[in-house]
């Protein structure tokens, strides 16, 4: 039964604290109240009213002691548990989160409102589930939300949706031995950065190592035996080297093709030079510019104002065909096309080149 509070009122009279004296004839007197007009009788402080207060206190104390002892029967439908309180759970319940048997539940719902929340604790493991809603069970026009499990430091929970971090945030790995994370089971993003070493691992397998892998002109290469080798695509390089050389007239202010290899291969030596100029005759001075394009990407544009003999000379790598026996330190690989062009700003000049290359099958 709900507690009904007493509405206490102060006594209001015309003459407060006023009395007449009556001689009792035995040496005692009696003070007789003489309040005059009584405006408000007030609420008397008597046994009935005080006992009412005592009963309310006792009932509240009993309810507080029993609030965690409300035992839901086995097979309870959680949708109908709408009264605020603490409940013990048994097994075989309906509309309950999985793994919640024999746990406890907290319900918060203010009578007369159409929203409700339920929080469930597992019996032995530190697991918690929550749901809310405005279902018809509390006079709402909606439905219960799905049960969701709360994430705790104990771990083991599954995040079914996306986890978004604020700008500048990070997920930190801190194993018990103080070392870095051994592996990440799945990663999806624009880039991965490991600022403490040259390698990145997935499940303890190296997937990138600075110094052993590189991107060269858009092609992934791996360092094997001191030589950078393209990864995937095409066949092996031929054993024989090919030597090409020529001298070509270069018209004024026109890009002129000197070498055009439409294949997959590698350049092991490249040398090209322009015509000489007479250092005593400024009218012979000119600007020589070359352009090297590999697989559609311009990779080099060497240029020189030629005033002397010889003209502009450009040499890339060691020459394995006569003149030196030193090894090639870093050959140039290309997958589709290697193009060398020349551009002179005065007419009457030529350009010669020597190219040593190997083709891929």
Is residue 84 in a domain?
A: yes
The domain in which residue 51 lies consists of: 12-66
Q: Which residue has the tokens 């009213």?
A: 49
* Whether the predicted pLDDT of 185 surpasses 60: no
Q: For tokens 């083991």, what's the residue?
A: 156
Q: How many CB atoms lie within 10 A of CB 167?
A: 4
Query: Does residue 19 share a domain with residue 37?
Result: yes
82 and 52 together in one domain:
no
Going by C-alpha positions, the residue among 324, 212, 224, 343 that lies closest to residue 269 is 324
Distance CA 272, CA 270 (A): 7
CB 356 within 8 A of CB 265: no
- Provide the H-helix boundaries in the chain: 47-66
24 and 84 share one domain: no
- 17: three-class secondary structure by DSSP: coil
Same domain, 327 and 293: yes
Given 120, 149, 178, the domain boundary residue is 149
Do 145 and 248 lie in a common domain? no
Is 114 part of a structural domain of the chain?
A: yes
What SS3 class is residue 320? coil
Residue 64 scores a pLDDT above 70: no
Nearest to 347 by CA among 269, 271, 286: 286
Of the candidate ranges 197-206, 211-220, 249-258, 302-311, the one whose mean pLDDT is the lowest: 197-206
Q: What values do phi and psi take at 323, rounded to 5?
A: 100, -20
- Residues 264 and 342 occupy one common structural domain: yes
> Which are the contacts of 263, defined by CB distance < 8 A and separation ≥ 6?
336, 337, 359, 360
Question: Is the domain of 276 the same as that of 301?
Answer: yes
Q: Please tell me whether residues 355 and 254 are part of one structural domain.
A: yes
Which of residues 340 and 157 earns the better pLDDT score? Answer: 340
Q: What is the mean pLDDT of the chain?
A: 81
Q: Which of 130, 149, 168 is the last residue of a domain?
A: 149
Question: Distance between CA atoms of 127 and 142, rounded to whole angstroms?
Answer: 27
User: Does the global pTM surpass 0.75?
Assistant: no
The answer to whether residue 167 is domain-embedded is: no
Domain boundary among 26, 43, 66: 66
Domain count, the chain: 3
- Give mean pLDDT, residues 148-169: 82
319 in any annotated domain: yes
In a domain, 178, yes or no: no
β-bridge mates for residue 243, sequence order: 356
* CATH number of the domain within which 276 lies: 2.60.120
Inside any domain, residue 210: no
Above 50 in pLDDT, residue 325? no
Could you tell me the pLDDT band of residue 233, with boundaries at 50, 70 and 90? very low
């Amino acid at each position: 039964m709900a507690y009904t509070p007493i509405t206490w009122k102060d006594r209001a009279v015309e003459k407060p604290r006023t009395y007449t004296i009556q001689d009792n004839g035995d040496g005692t007197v009696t003070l007789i109240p003489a309040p005059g007009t009584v405006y408000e009788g007030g609420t008397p402080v008597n046994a009935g009213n005080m006992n009412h207060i005592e009963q309310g206190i006792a009932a509240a104390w009993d309810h507080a002691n029993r609030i965690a002892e409300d035992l839901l029967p086995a097979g309870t439908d959680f949708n109908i548990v709408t009264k605020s309180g603490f409940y013990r759970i048994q097994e075989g319940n309906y509309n309950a989160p999985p793994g919640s048997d024999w746990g406890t539940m907290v319900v918060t719902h203010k009578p007369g409102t159409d929203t409700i929340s339920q929080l469930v604790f597992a019996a032995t493991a530190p697991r918690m589930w929550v749901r809310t809603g405005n279902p018809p069970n509390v006079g709402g026009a909606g439905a219960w939300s799905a049960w969701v499990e709360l994430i705790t430091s104990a771990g083991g929970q599954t995040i079914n949706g996306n986890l978004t971090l604020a700008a500048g945030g990070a997920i930190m790995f801190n194993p018990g031995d103080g070392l870095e994370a051994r592996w990440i089971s799945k990663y999806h993003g624009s880039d991965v950065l490991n600022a403490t070493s040259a390698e990145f691992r997935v499940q303890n397998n190296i997937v990138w190592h600075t110094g052993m892998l590189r991107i060269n002109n858009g092609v992934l290469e791996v360092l094997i035996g001191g030589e950078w080798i393209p990864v995937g695509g095409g066949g092996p390089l031929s054993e024989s080297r090919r030597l090409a050389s020529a001298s070509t007239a270069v018209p004024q202010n026109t890009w002129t093709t000197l070498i055009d290899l439409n294949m997959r291969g590698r350049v092991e030596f490249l040398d090209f030079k322009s015509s000489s100029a007479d250092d005593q005759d400024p009218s012979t001075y000119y600007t020589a510019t070359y352009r090297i394009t590999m697989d559609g990407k311009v990779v080099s544009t060497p240029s020189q104002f030629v005033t002397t003999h010889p003209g502009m000379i450009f040499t890339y790598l060691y020459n394995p065909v006569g003149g030196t026996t030193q090894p090639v330190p870093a050959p140039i690989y290309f997958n589709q096309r290697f193009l060398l062009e020349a551009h002179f700003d005065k007419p009457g000049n030529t350009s010669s080149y020597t190219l040593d290359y190997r083709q891929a099958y």
